[in-house]
């Protein structure tokens, strides 16, 4: 993750610079590799390591922004459902059920295709589709603390619902929200890669890992590393984010372990 | 039980209606369909003609009611691309996706349930930790890349299995593994946690005290109870797998529903896309309904909800 953030500083080459005379140079651990291009070059002669680092930036950007949008939607829905209960709760639960019944990949693809695939569209589409877990978790967490003494005290003191939610409830469910946010970040990154792989996500020449795998697909029988490298990078990034989430949960809620 | 079933079916129908409205709106509000169908070179009058031909000049509500009324009679109109009725296309492709989904689920259960049981019995040993690591890795693995890697290993290097197509059962092995791996972590964790809970229960202790052989206790008493929620989860996972098979089918060039959806999206063939979204949503709703009812049938406490 750090490497992706520092991409402009450590990338050895311009990720967009093409050099057709230096196409598909293998990475350093193979016979014909050079130190000049540690992870080799792609079909247009672009440095693979530089593209990998910038691709990581894009993955993180998409993961974080999509998690923020979906977090906002899901948290508002979940807070309303958990705090007010009754018919509001029924309505929100119904919306969540409906959302779960829609095939995410398919709907995201169709929307991205209609609006035209781009970074912004992918973030918005994923943000508007991945809020279900936020809503479910927020609802459950809010229900747990809604009737505790400090909330009743705030209500007795005449605070408005909005202030109670903001000052008493939100700070207490923040930990759970952060854990969900890491999970959804990972989820969004994987979905973005799949969308880009299918050609309807981030568009070339931007370096997205899913796109790199799609571009490498036709060469993979002769040069397996063109898909192995971005794939492993994707796996490691998502793994790191998931473990971060697990770690945060263990710190904030030790009893939830196992 | 009857009242519960009735209520659940009613909710499922309402959800189905909402999903069809939502999928209809999403497609119609995301962009101008007529312009998308006509393509980049079309002139103004041509676009207007298309708009009229496909009824896109009607108010949205009229369009939806027409579409919904026809969909109720399983008439999804004609494909823009194939000049063939959408329902015939779906009928030709759906079995392949269902077949893939069933094998994938079988693979997932076949690996995940024994793994979950062993992890629970050998709790906190290296076996348990390895199983956990496999499930964490599974959640982080992009399915399309896993599919490509499987092709590299088993088709290119070992030459055991074909790369793509859907001619024989051999073509389904790799895609089923790639798709099934995605469902494994959840099934494994649920089995493990269920087994841990059951193994600590009184009746298992009684069975042990009676001196029954450990294997018999494990299978006859413990697994039988722990596996109930797993069945319900499997139904839901099966629904997710059908939705997720679009990526796997693209990797392996399986001519199933997912591949049709992907190609139709690329061709702006909206009647097909819309029908596929609806069919997949219906299958998912049916599966969750079945899972809910099964759970409630087995565990009367749930019928209150």
* C-alpha span between B196 and B229 (Å, rounded): 14
Q: What is the mean pLDDT of residues A55-78?
A: 88
Q: With b meaning 16 or more CB within 10 Å and e meaning fewer, what string describes A63-75?
A: bebbbebbbebbb
**Which pTM does this prediction carry?**
0.81
Q: What is the mean pLDDT of residues B265-290?
A: 84
Q: Decide if B276 touches A, using CB distance below 8 A.
A: yes
| A106, A190, A221: residue with CB nearest B246 | A106
Tens of pLDDT, residues B158-187: 666 666 666 666 677 788 888 888 788 888
**pLDDT exceeds cutoff 60 at A83:** yes
Q: What is the mean pLDDT of residues A212-219?
A: 74
Banded model confidence at residue A73, pLDDT cuts 50, 70, 90:
very high
Q: Decide if B305 touches A, using CB distance below 8 A.
A: no
The token duo for A194 is 């799949």
Specify the range with the lowest mean pLDDT, choosing from A150-159, B20-29, B129-138. Answer: B20-29
Predicted local confidence at residue A9, as pLDDT: 47
Radius of gyration of chain B (CA): 24
Predicted local confidence at residue A70, as pLDDT: 92
From chain B, pick out residues whose CB is under 8 angstroms from the CB of A242.
136, 139-140
Is residue A156 within 8 Å of A132, Cβ to Cβ? no
**pLDDT exceeds cutoff 80 at B248:** yes
**pLDDT exceeds cutoff 70 at A46:** no
Banded model confidence at residue A20, pLDDT cuts 50, 70, 90:
very low
The answer to whether the complex's ipTM is over 0.85 is no
Task: Verify whether the Cβ–Cβ distance A106 to B250 is below 8 Å.
Answer: no
Nearest by Cα to A16 from A44, A56, A58: A44
* C-alpha span between B278 and B282 (Å, rounded): 6
List the single best residue of B30, B259, B283 to mutate versus A (max A Cβ within 10 A): B30
Nearest by Cα to B292 from B281, B282, B280, B304: B304
Predicted local confidence at residue A72, as pLDDT: 92
Cβ within 8 Å of A, B 143-172 = 143-145, 148-149, 151-152, 156
- Cis, bond preceding B265 (omega within 30 deg of 0): no
Q: SS3 of A47, please?
A: strand
């Amino acid at each position: 993750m750090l490497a992706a953030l520092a991409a402009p500083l450590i990338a050895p080459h311009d990720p967009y610079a093409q050099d057709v005379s230096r196409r598909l140079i293998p990475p350093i651990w193979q016979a014909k590799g050079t130190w000049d291009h540690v992870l080799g070059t792609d079909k247009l002669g672009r440095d693979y390591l530089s593209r990998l680092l910038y691709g990581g930036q894009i993955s993180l950007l998409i993961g974080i922004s999509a998690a923020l949008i979906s977090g906002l939607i899901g948290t508002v829905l979940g807070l309303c459902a958990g705090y007010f209960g009754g018919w509001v709760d029924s309505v929100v639960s119904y919306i969540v059920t409906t959302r779960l019944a829609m095939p995410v990949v398919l709907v995201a693809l169709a929307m991205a295709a209609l609006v035209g695939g781009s970074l912004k569209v992918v973030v918005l589409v994923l943000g508007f589709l991945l809020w279900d877990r936020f809503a479910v978790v927020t609802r459950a967490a809010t229900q747990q603390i809604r009737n505790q003494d400090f909330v009743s005290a705030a209500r007795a003191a005449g605070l408005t619902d909005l202030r109670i939610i903001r000052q008493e409830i939100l700070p207490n469910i923040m930990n759970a929200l952060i854990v969900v946010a890491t999970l959804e970040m990972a989820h969004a990154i994987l979905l973005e890669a799949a969308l880009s792989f299918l050609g309807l996500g981030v568009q070339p020449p931007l370096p997205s890992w899913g796109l790199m795998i799609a571009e490498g697909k036709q060469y993979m029988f002769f040069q397996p590393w063109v898909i192995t490298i971005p794939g492993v990078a994707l796996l490691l990034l998502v793994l790191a984010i998931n473990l971060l989430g697990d770690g945060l949960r263990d710190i904030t809620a030790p009893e939830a372990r196992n | 039980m009857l009242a519960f079933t009735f209520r659940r079916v009613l909710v499922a129908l309402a959800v189905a209606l909402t999903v069809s409205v939502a999928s209809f709106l999403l497609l119609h509000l995301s962009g101008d369909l007529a312009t998308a169908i006509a393509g980049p070179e079309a002139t103004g009058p041509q676009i207007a003609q298309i708009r009229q031909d496909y009824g896109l000049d009607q108010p949205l509500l009229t369009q939806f009611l027409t579409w919904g009324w026809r969909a109720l009679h399983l008439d999804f109109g004609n494909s823009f691309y194939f000049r063939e009725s959408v329902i015939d296309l779906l009928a030709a492709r759906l079995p392949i996706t269902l077949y893939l989904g069933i094998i994938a689920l079988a693979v997932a259960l076949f690996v995940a349930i024994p793994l979950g049981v062993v992890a629970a019995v050998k709790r906190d040993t290296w076996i348990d930790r390895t199983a956990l690591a496999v499930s964490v890795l599974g959640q982080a693995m992009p399915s399309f890349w896993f599919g490509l890697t499987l092709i590299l290993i088993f088709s290119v290097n070992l030459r055991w299995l074909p790369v793509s197509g859907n001619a024989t059962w051999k073509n389904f092995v790799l895609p089923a593994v790639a798709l099934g791996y995605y469902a494994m972590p959840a099934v494994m964790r649920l089995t493990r946690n269920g087994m841990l809970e059951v193994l600590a229960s009184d009746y298992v202790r009684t069975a042990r005290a009676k001196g029954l052989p450990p294997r018999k206790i494990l299978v006859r008493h413990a697994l039988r109870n722990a596996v109930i929620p797993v069945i319900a989860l499997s139904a839901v996972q099966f629904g997710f797998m059908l939705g997720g098979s679009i990526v796997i089918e693209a990797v392996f060039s399986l001519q199933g529903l997912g591949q049709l959806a992907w190609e139709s999206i690329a061709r702006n063939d909206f009647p097909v896309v819309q029908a596929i979204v609806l069919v997949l949503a219906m299958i998912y709703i049916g599966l969750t309904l079945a899972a809910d009812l099964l759970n409630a049938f087995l565990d009367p406490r749930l019928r209150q909800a």
